């Protein structure tokens, strides 16, 4: 469930605008990879939510393994503004 799922109306629009204007550098662990569809998920440190990423957000997608620590830039997913999407994913 996304961060915006419980907000409605003006509160939701305000939060969407805030999120869109404030990319965040995050850290987490790879918790799922779907190589056949070229995407995966990162479990944020200290959080319960997973962040979606596409293979083109990673320099070497083929080398990623579940459990690896990564750093990434988190922003709103352009395909679904109710979710975050990670870009610039890199191993740490």
- What mean pLDDT, rounded, does the chain reach? 86
Instruction: Record the pTM.
Output: 0.74
CATH class of 9-91: mainly beta
Domain boundaries, the chain: 9-91
CB 21 within 8 A of CB 14: no
- Give the tens place of pLDDT for each residue, 57-84: 999 999 999 999 999 999 888 888 778 8
- Burial of 46 (C-beta count, 10 Å sphere; 0-12/13-18/19+): exposed
């Amino acid at each position: 469930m996304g961060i915006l799922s419980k907000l409605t109306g003006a509160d939701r629009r305000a939060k969407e605008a805030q999120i869109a204007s404030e990319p965040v550098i995050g850290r987490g662990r790879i918790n799922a990879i779907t190589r056949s569809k070229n995407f995966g998920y990162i479990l944020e440190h200290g959080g319960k939510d997973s962040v979606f990423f596409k293979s083109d957000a990673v320099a070497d997608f083929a080398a990623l393994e579940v459990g690896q620590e990564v750093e990434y830039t988190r922003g709103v997913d352009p395909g679904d503004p109710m979710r975050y999407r990670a870009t610039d994913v890199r191993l740490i």
